[in-house]
């Protein structure tokens, strides 16, 4: 017993270390921060981003701008569409080129995916290769029950994790289709069994390459619907060997109209997903930025309010979830969503002053500077206020002027972001005669 007591401090350290990074991630989440601040970049956005049918020089310029902007909007993770329709935005031995990146479908003289990953990492942004595993066209999918289908999907995943320095593989919510009659007779249990077989093999393929690589899925926000199309989300969140993280797409406001009654659908679905996360795997909540500012009959909250995303982030924080993912990039710059985006940036933002304390002689001045983050907030007007103008004043630009002996607090604010500087004013030096 004495020997155990003697080595107790060492044992405690070893126990903490054995918990791994998950322990510290949970600590971070509990502190109200997000480990993942994500954004989706869809294949439908390539043209507007200047990423289709460009020279290598043009592609590099536009890719650099894209990731600089992602960083400026406070995101640290990108889920980038690399396989949308059994195609690829990179030279592949498994499938042909995506017409979204090469209109003719002909090979490009450079590797777009490698360039994108390089720029992503240049800005400190994790890059997850986003794939739609079964989808061939909008109306056609690979048969989930086919062993050849699983083999093909696994081969595509293996190709990516082998050739490229991605941080993870990400699957979207397209599994069994709802618009193909031949799949209507497949039982729900069989659908989930077939999808699970594919998911499990993909997970094994990713982990065989490196334990650091992550594999995650962003299922639809309704669990019943997920199971209907073969996405066995309850198993994924309760048993090891399927996913490293989950991103439920909870794409509603808390003013959703269900059967004529206003329903707090986002909050309800968020609570439901948390209740099924038995393994407590990282959960990053998918948020519907694409709805911000639009008039939607069934979900009027997106038009009535401009702080839906900010409010949802507060709920996510309160429940110790580890992050969020916005759909999608271009909506950060849509005019209809501008107020929503500003409130989002403020919700994740911070402010720093160049001084927390300052001593001045009466009659002297000092310029306080406020730095806003994310950097997209830079240049916004910060408000300044003095707690006692008789002791010291402050201008609209942060210039303090000491008036007379005493203590005063100078406040800086931008929306909900606030900082203060305590100023001690000394009496003027007596002039020597």
What CATH number was assigned to the domain covering residues 351-426? Answer: 2.60.40.1080
Report domain extents, the chain. Answer: 21-348, 351-426
Rounded to 5°, the CA angle 289-277-290 comes to 5
**Per-residue pLDDT tens digits for 113-160:** 999 999 999 999 999 999 999 999 888 899 999 999 999 999 999 999
Output phi, psi for 281, to 5 deg: -75, 160
**Per-residue pLDDT tens digits for 388-398:** 999 999 999 99
pLDDT of the chain along its 433 residues, tens only?
A: 334 334 444 444 333 333 333 333 343 333 357 899 999 999 999 999 999 999 999 999 999 999 999 999 999 999 999 999 999 999 999 999 999 999 999 999 999 999 999 999 999 999 999 999 999 988 889 999 999 999 999 999 999 999 999 999 999 999 999 878 889 899 999 999 999 999 999 999 999 999 999 999 999 999 999 999 999 999 999 999 999 999 999 999 999 999 999 999 999 999 999 999 999 999 999 999 999 999 999 999 999 999 999 999 999 998 766 899 999 999 999 999 999 999 999 999 999 999 999 999 999 999 999 999 999 999 999 999 999 999 999 999 999 999 999 999 999 999 999 999 999 999 998 776 5
What CATH number was assigned to the domain covering residues 21-348? Answer: 3.20.20.80
């Amino acid at each position: 017993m004495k020997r155990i007591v003697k080595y107790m401090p060492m044992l405690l350290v070893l126990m903490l270390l054995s918990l791994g990074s998950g322990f510290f991630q949970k600590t971070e989440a509990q502190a109200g921060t997000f480990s993942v601040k994500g954004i989706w970049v869809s294949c439908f956005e390539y043209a507007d981003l200047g990423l289709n049918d460009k020279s290598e020089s043009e592609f590099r310029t536009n890719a650099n701008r894209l990731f600089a902007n992602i960083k400026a909007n406070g995101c640290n993770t990108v889920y980038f569409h690399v396989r949308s329709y059994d195609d690829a935005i990179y030279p592949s031995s498994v499938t042909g080129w995506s017409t979204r990146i090469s209109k003719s479908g002909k090979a490009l003289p450079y590797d777009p995916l490698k360039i994108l990953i390089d720029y992503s990492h240049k800005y400190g942004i994790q890059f997850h290769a986003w794939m739609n595993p079964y989808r061939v066209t909008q109306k056609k999918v690979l048969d989930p029950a086919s062993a050849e289908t699983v083999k093909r999907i696994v081969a595509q995943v293996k190709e990516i994790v082998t050739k490229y320095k991605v941080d993870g593989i990400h699957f979207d919510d397209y599994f069994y289709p709802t618009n193909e009659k031949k799949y209507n007779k497949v039982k729900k249990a069989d659908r989930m069994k077939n999808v699970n077989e594919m998911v499990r093999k993909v997970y094994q393929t990713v982990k065989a390459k490196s334990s650091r690589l992550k594999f995650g899925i962003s299922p639809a926000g309704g669990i019943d619907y997920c199971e209907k199309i073969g996405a066995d989300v309850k198993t994924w969140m309760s048993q090891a060997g399927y996913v490293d993280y989950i991103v439920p797409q909870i794409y509603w406001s808390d003013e959703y109209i269900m059967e004529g009654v206003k329903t707090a659908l986002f909050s309800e679905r968020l609570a439901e997903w948390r209740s099924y996360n038995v393994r407590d795997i990282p959960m990053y909540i998918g948020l519907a930025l694409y709805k911000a500012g639009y008039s939607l009959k069934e979900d009027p909250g997106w038009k009535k309010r401009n702080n839906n995303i900010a409010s949802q982030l507060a709920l996510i924080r309160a429940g110790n979830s580890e992050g969020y993912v916005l759909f999608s990039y271009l909506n950060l710059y849509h005019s209809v969503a501008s107020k929503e985006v500003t409130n989002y940036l403020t919700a994740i933002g911070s402010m720093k002053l160049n001084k927390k304390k300052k001593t001045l002689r009466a009659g002297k001045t000092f310029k306080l500077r406020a730095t806003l983050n994310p950097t997209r907030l830079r240049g916004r007007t910060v408000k300044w206020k003095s707690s006692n103008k008789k002791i010291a004043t402050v201008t609209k630009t942060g210039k303090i002027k000491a008036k007379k002996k005493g203590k005063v607090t100078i406040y800086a604010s931008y929306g909900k972001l606030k900082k203060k500087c305590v100023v001690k004013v000394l009496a003027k030096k007596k002039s020597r005669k």
